[in-house]
Structure 1
Amino acid sequence: MMDVFLTVDVEVWCDGWDDIDAKFPAAFQRYIYGPTPRGNYGLPHQLHQLQEHGLTGVFFVEPLFSTRFGLDPLAEIIGLVRERGHEIQLHLHTEWVDESSEPLLDNITGKKQFLRYFSLKEQTILIHAGAKLIESTGGQCVNAFRAGGFGFNRDSLRALAANRIAFDSSYNASMLGLDSGVKPDVTLVEPVECEGVFEYPMTVFDGGMHSLRHVQVTACSYREMEGLLWQALEAGRKAFVILSHNFELLNSSMSRPDDIVVARFRKLCSFLDRHRDCFNVRGFNDLTPTTVFSQPAPLTSPIWKTGLRMLEQGVRRGLR
């Protein structure tokens, strides 16, 4: 049996940094609830699908926005996830640091997109602040972390260890992972221990296009995800990490559901429900880490599946 982590990064954005206080109430509704003429297709819809199939999701919640807009919206998000029995973990987008009403750090002006752009001391402070925000609004004591945009480095793992957070899932071999300083010159695809923290990398694959792609609901077809799950199981992989976001089931203008992605997510949940004898969908709480000494090659997906996905994505773009 292989551990599968269905992870959802939960974020709120105001679509620009001008007049954000006026824009925030509508942005919160749009990003969290995703109202459409056919109902809500944001976070509640994902929670419903997981509950309907008896699956546990890992919700990496970004809390720094609440240092500008107050704790109530963050508590609302935590409440939605907690009441459905899912796992709440920590996600940080450091673009919010200079927007805080009360300074999170000394002498910070302007945007820094990634956590890796901060010193070890600053990263330690930011991670501590984020974890306390989650806990103070009803979340459990977090034990797993993901950096916004996968923008972490080895200091991030040291900062997590200092905050007694045992697991990280920021490594993405298709985005910034290789120059993170974690195991230089080795492409990580399986769990490893580094700086006292257990790294659970994003699952990536080679689809025949001479580059790696991470397994994300909006970026992969259901056919690709199903094939990769079976391949990983047969290869004896320890973990399979899938990414989604709270707004991924909406079209790019967030005005209606993206029917193709909605169907992908439903099919994925149904598949994992049917095959729970093979795939253990779980979170990081009470996880006994299993690491590998030698990293295998990334998974592969046949080029014909890549071609079909490209056609499917073309249809999606046409429907936007």
Structure 2
Amino acid sequence: MPYKKRQMDNMTKPKIIITIDTEVGEKAKFVKEGFEKFVMGKIGDENYGVPKIVDILNEHNIKGEFFVDVYEDTFFGKEKYASLCKYLDESGHGVQLHTHPSYAYDINRINMHEYSFEEQVRIISDGKGRIKKWIGKYPIAHRAGNYGANNNTLMALKGNNILIDSSYYYGHPNSKIRMSTVNDPLPYNQVMEIPVSIELKNWFISIIDSLKHKIPNKFDINSMNSQSMRNSIETYHSSYCIIFLHSSSFISRDQNSIEITGINQTALNAFSDLLDFLLKEKYAVTQFSKIPFTF
């Protein structure tokens, strides 16, 4: 059955998907205790990373989708990532694949689009195999680290039977996927691309931003305040709205991004406020496993 694009009108609310890129990241690759710092967000005896995000989600009876960079286990320990994925899965949250291939493959090639199709097939197979070993099931969705996917990535996902991707970030220089969409989901080779949601401005501002090579603003807890996030969601006209966090969203870092300097209380409050708003205004918050895409 062919995929039928949903027609949005002003009275239709988007379904919300809360996504969390769960990673130490490229900037902190060689940092001692990177997992504890930037995945767990350990400050003293408290964890302000994944555990805090899960606590806030659970308090609101909302489930999130955690894109886990499993290749970091090469640096920081397989047992840590295995325990993390089991914890997320047992809590009812989605465990999806996040690909920063430089951790396990080539330290000089950060983005997926820098690898051949055959290499990408192998990288994805390797990553989904780790998750299957740890939680007993394969991931169903993928996001490339740094948004650095290309169309070969989508074909490699199809070959690995991962049929949802959320790497495409319109206007971002690392995003090499070529599709005729901005925010609307669109199929490619039987893989459904659900783009990273961005703010759409009026045509004049968009042209000025483009001339300045300004990257469009995504729906990120760390780049939008509470009011801007609410306003943007209320004026968003696509079927799915991707909300963006990182495992380190609630912590502050030093200038080199390798040490924790404190709690990012603004981001923490913004996330709680957002979830309160979604519940109050009766937005449907969903997961990838519940998306009824047909082709």
Query: TM-score when scaled to structure 2?
Result: 0.84
Per-residue deviation, residues 126-170 of structure 1 (Å, max 9, x unmatched):
000000011111263211000000000000000000001110000
Task: Give 2:196's aligned amino acid.
Answer: M
Residue 172 of structure 1 corresponds to 169
- Measured after TM superposition, the shift of residue 68 of structure 1 is 4.2
Q: Distance in 2 between matches of 1:13 and 1:155?
A: 23
Per-residue deviation, residues 10-53 of structure 1 (Å, max 9, x unmatched):
00258555xx4xx54x2221112212258321111000000000
Residue 312 of structure 1 corresponds to none
Q: Distance in 2 between matches of 1:33 and 1:110?
A: 24
Structure 1 runs of 4+ aligned residues shifted over 6 Å read none
Task: Give 2:149's aligned amino acid.
Answer: F
Q: Distance in 2 between matches of 1:13 and 1:157?
A: 22
Partner secondary structure for residue 266 of structure 2: helix
Q: Does 1:8 align with 2:20?
A: yes
Q: Does 1:190 align with 2:184?
A: yes
Aligned residue among 219, 237, 257 for 1:215: 219
- Measured after TM superposition, the shift of residue 270 of structure 1 is 1.1
Aligned residue among 253, 256, 265 for 1:259: 265
Aligned residue among 104, 125, 141 for 1:128: 125
Aligned length: 268
Residue 311 of structure 1 corresponds to none
Q: Distance in 1 between matches of 2:36 and 2:177?
A: 38
Task: Give 1:198's aligned amino acid.
Answer: M
Q: Distance in 2 between matches of 1:14 and 1:168?
A: 21
Q: Distance in 2 between matches of 1:122 and 1:14?
A: 20
> Residue 244 and residue 238 in structure 1: after superposition, are their counterparts in 2 closer, same or farther (change >3 A)?
same
Task: Give 1:256's aligned amino acid.
Answer: G
Q: Distance in 2 between matches of 1:71 and 1:39?
A: 22
- Measured after TM superposition, the shift of residue 79 of structure 1 is 2.5
Residue 106 of structure 1 corresponds to none
Q: Does 1:45 align with 2:49?
A: no
Please report the RMSD computed on the Cα atoms of aligned residues, expressed in angstroms. 2.2
Q: Distance in 2 between matches of 1:2 and 1:189?
A: 11
Partner secondary structure for residue 231 of structure 2: helix
Q: Distance in 1 between matches of 2:88 and 2:56?
A: 13
- Equivalent runs, 1:6-155 vs 2, <5 Å: 6-13=18-25, 16=28, 20=30, 23-24=31-32, 26-37=33-44, 39-98=46-105, 110-138=107-135, 140-155=137-152
- Measured after TM superposition, the shift of residue 69 of structure 1 is 4.3
Percent of counterpart pairs with the same letter?
A: 24
Do the aligned partners of 2:66 and 2:94 also contact (CA within 8 Å) in 1? yes
Partner secondary structure for residue 143 of structure 2: strand
Residue 240 of structure 1 corresponds to 241
Task: Give 1:239's aligned amino acid.
Answer: Y
> Residue 156 and residue 8 in structure 1: after superposition, are their counterparts in 2 closer, same or farther (change >3 A)?
same
> Residue 14 and residue 3 in structure 1: after superposition, are their counterparts in 2 closer, same or farther (change >3 A)?
closer
